[in-house]
Amino acid sequence: MILTIKKVPTVVSNYQEENSEKGFEGCGRNCLGKCCLPVSKLPLYAFKEDNSNLIGNSVEKSSEEQPHTCFLHNLLLGQWEDRMSRGLFRYDVTACDTKIIPGRYGFIAQLNKGRHQKKRLTEFRVDKVLQDFDETKFNFTKVGQEEVLFRFEKSSDHNRHFFPSAPPITADSNNSSVVAINVSPIEYGHVLLIPQVLNCLPQRIDHGSFLLALHMAKEAADPFFRVGYNSLGAFATINHLHFQAYYLAAPFPVEKAPTRRIMTMKSPQGGVIVSQLLNYPVRGLVFEGGNTVQDLSDSVASSCIFLQNNNIPFNVLIADCGRRIFLFPQCYAEKQARGEASQELLDTQVNPAVWEISGHIVLKRQEDFDDASETYAWRLLAEVSLSNKRFHEVKAYVLEAAGFQTDIEEHNRDLEREPIYEQPSPDAVTHLPQDCMVFY
């Protein structure tokens, strides 16, 4: 039996509502397809890929680099505001009411009615995390280049560069990755990272794409800029590989949750630490450390690949400039399809994906926003979480897939002797505008 749910997908591009059955032959729309992208002159940000540790993250340039363009402030957010001034967004997200819900966790509630308007119904399978790319469905090659901020690719000379008008992509190169606006934004600076857009990759994590996302978080160099990922079955709405990211000038509740260290990888990814979230409504793992950026990236990517291959939906949050990565296996879409989800929560039409799970809850109805409480937020997110028994089963297999050889059962017996780590909140920054959101 195929499990499906009728739901309203988020519209992330102004081209998404075009009839996919019409085809796009001839184009002429200056899109991201093979017809237009190879001859485009989109801006290019070339990041420096190195084997440095994420601790002490910085974006200082070498003496050979061009004068550095602040990736987050001057480039990404500056270009995002330019698209806002040009009227490319479906609504003004900066006008959405946002508040911190009173309580221990400080869940963040936003009233965003714009994300509930002008949507079209679609059937989505929720019982299959890996699905083949379907060119007849909406995908990012159909996006107009006016929605693209810049290409984001590895530098060829180990230095950072920004080219306002980059040379065209060579005809035999399909490795160009782009950063585009999400036209239905959740927050200020909401963008999409689309790896190797011309390769039309389905929504599945691989080692290279995850490393690219980690480099994006590192280049931003600001703890209030986070990168997220939703798998199919965990409320990804488009089966074309993409990550999301935005700037929110407040700590996410999950970033403040206490953790307990499970183990430290000794080899080959030396120094990667895995912890388990405690006293949080969604059970999850936290990865940090590692001798290099790639060490940390490979550990998490291997875990995600295991989940994909075993048909377990999941969400990922890349936080703290890439230093901490949260992994959440989840089951809410399947509960919906089986009729096991709370009707009260279904009525809110909130589908908890990475941002909601992390504590930034986007509400679509005025009454839900007015009545939002910590109890409500906890109940909503607890519906997402695997049971304690199932989580421990998945955890053991995930850590084995990531290369951790420690006996999980033996380690679990020692949990009571492990210290609990209280996480500090991110420090406020002063180099970015502080009126991006208003708390009431």
CB distance 352 to 235 below 8 Å: yes
CA gap 198, 195 in Å, rounded = 9
Tokens 């017809």 correspond to 35
CB distance 354 to 383 below 8 Å: no
Q: Which two tokens stand for residue 287?
A: 């990865």
Residue type, 64: E
CB distance 389 to 213 below 8 Å: no
Task: Find the largest Cα–Cα distance for the chain.
Answer: 66
CB distance 398 to 285 below 8 Å: yes
Task: Encode 162-187: b = buried (16+ Cβ within 10 Å), e = exposed.
Answer: beeebeebeeeeeebbbbbbbbbbbb
Sign of the dihedral through C-alpha 402, 403, 409, 411: negative
Among all residues, which ones are annotated catalytic? 242
Residue type, 358: S
- The residues facing 108 across adjacent strands are 100, 360
Tokens 């714009």 correspond to 114
The continuous run of DSSP H or E covering 319 comes out as strand 314-319
Q: Give the β-pairing of 360-363 and 108-111.
A: parallel
CA gap 224, 227 in Å, rounded = 10
